[in-house]
Amino acid sequence: MMSLQELSDRLEIEQLIVRYSNSIDQRNWDGLDEVFTPDAYIDYRKLGGIDGRFPQIKAWLGPALAGFPHYCHMVGNIEITLAGDTATARTLCINPMDTPLPAGGSQVMFLGLWYKDKFIRTPRGWRMCERVEEACFQHNVPAHMAIPSA
Amino acid sequence: MTPQELSDRFEIRALIVRYSNALDARRFELLDEVFTADAYIDYRATGGIDGCYPKIRAWLPPAVNAFPHMCHLVANIGIALAGDAARARTLCLNPVEVALPAGAAQVMFLGMWYRDQLVRTAHGWRMRERVQEGCIRHNVPAHLQIPAARDA
């Protein structure tokens, strides 16, 4: 049987993963301060983004996502491995993105990816100290977009 | 809920996710930690086979490796506990990239439910039955044969 501590840790980490999606989808960049450690390493290169430390990524996100009128990051299949005050997780994300077309109008593309995360318990709760993307499927990507194939 | 029930529900949810992740990472050996040795599995609703776990375990790698990318997103996990046994119904949204005969690829979207029977073992909860029930099919390439979902 799982201890209450383990149940609590698992729920807190699940909530942290959801908080990331909700912060990104509401364009609440400051909300990410409660998700990542200040020196977290983030790697978005598998879907055409950049990699770097959290402050660099936080500054990059707003302008990078400003070109997409609507999007969401639906997460599921959260598989957590606890190891005391650290943890790792693998999470599936289905990411529909409304993408403006050069000739006008827009098109919704669907990206599938996994997040490979590392976590650390801090005095203020669990925080993500690493997030690396792994690409899965791509559907309905507009011809002018350059997304590396998985 | 008692701590025992909370724990059982967490473990069963983790088991259902472990199945998806093992399949999607193509780490078929991890399925040994999901199913009982004599589990019955029925994939016929999406064009697969049915049978006991060892037969399914041998069938899966070639069947799945024909698809360059896929994922099995599970949600709506409804669990009914009954002591050392349990039933679950889970919704799965399953995008699958299919290589086309003429080259290039196309992503089809399958929706299905898993109807599972679970049992508590000395190694934790395991699945002893998984039966697919078909739901939506979208953008299926013409050359693929997937049976139509039966009306409920």
Going by C-alpha positions, the residue among A43, A49, A82, A86 that lies closest to residue A64 is: A49
Q: What is the average pLDDT value for chain B, to the nearest integer? A: 94
SS3 category, B8: helix
CA pair distance B16, B115, nearest whole angstrom:
11
Can you give the pLDDT of all 150 residues of chain A as single tens digits? 999 999 999 999 999 999 999 999 999 999 999 999 999 999 999 999 999 999 999 999 999 999 999 999 999 999 999 999 999 999 999 999 999 999 999 999 999 999 999 999 999 999 999 999 999 999 999 998 877 776
Check A110 against B107: CB less than 8 A apart: yes
Structure token digits, residue B5: 């029930």
**pLDDT tier, B149 (very low <50, low <70, confident <90, very high otherwise):** low
CB atoms within 10 A of CB B30: 14
CA pair distance A24, B23, nearest whole angstrom:
29
pLDDT > 60? residue B117 = yes
Residue ranges of domains in chain B: 3-138
Return all residues near A93 (Cβ < 8 A) that are at least 6 apart.
Answer: A21, A73, A74, A75, A112, A113, A114, A115
**pLDDT tier, B152 (very low <50, low <70, confident <90, very high otherwise):** very low
Check B24 against A76: CB less than 8 A apart: no
Going by C-alpha positions, the residue among A46, A43, A44 that lies closest to residue A149 is: A46
**pLDDT tier, B123 (very low <50, low <70, confident <90, very high otherwise):** very high
**What does the pLDDT read at residue A145?**
86
For residue B107, the distance in angstroms to the closest alpha carbon of chain A comes to: 6
Nearest CA in chain A to B16: A77
Q: Roughly what angle, to the nearest 10 degrees, separates helices A4-25 and B3-24?
A: 50
B83 reaches A (C-beta below 8 A)? no
What count of residues does chain A have?
A: 150
Fold entry, domain A4-139: Nuclear Transport Factor 2; Chain: A, (3.10.450)
For residue B25, the distance in angstroms to the closest alpha carbon of chain A comes to: 10
A120 reaches B (C-beta below 8 A)? no
pLDDT > 60? residue B151 = no
Give the ipTM.
0.92
Which residues in chain A have their CB less than 8 angstroms from residue B139's CB? 139
pLDDT > 90? residue B144 = no
Structure token digits, residue B151: 């009306």
User: What is the end-to-end Cα distance of chain A in Å, rounded?
Assistant: 39
Check B3 against A1: CB less than 8 A apart: yes
A112 reaches B (C-beta below 8 A)? yes
B145 reaches A (C-beta below 8 A)? no
Number of residue pairs across A and B with CB atoms under 8 Å? 66
B96 reaches A (C-beta below 8 A)? yes
3-state per-residue secondary structure call for chain A: CCCHHHHHHHHHHHHHHHHHHHHHHCCCHHHHHHCEEEEEEEECHHHCCCEEEHHHHHHHHHHHHCCCCCECCEEEEEEEEEECCEEEEEEEEEEEEEEECCCCCEEEEEEEEEEEEEEEEECCEEEEEEEEEEEEEEECCCCCCCCCCC
Does domain B3-138 fall into CATH 3.10.450.50?
A: yes
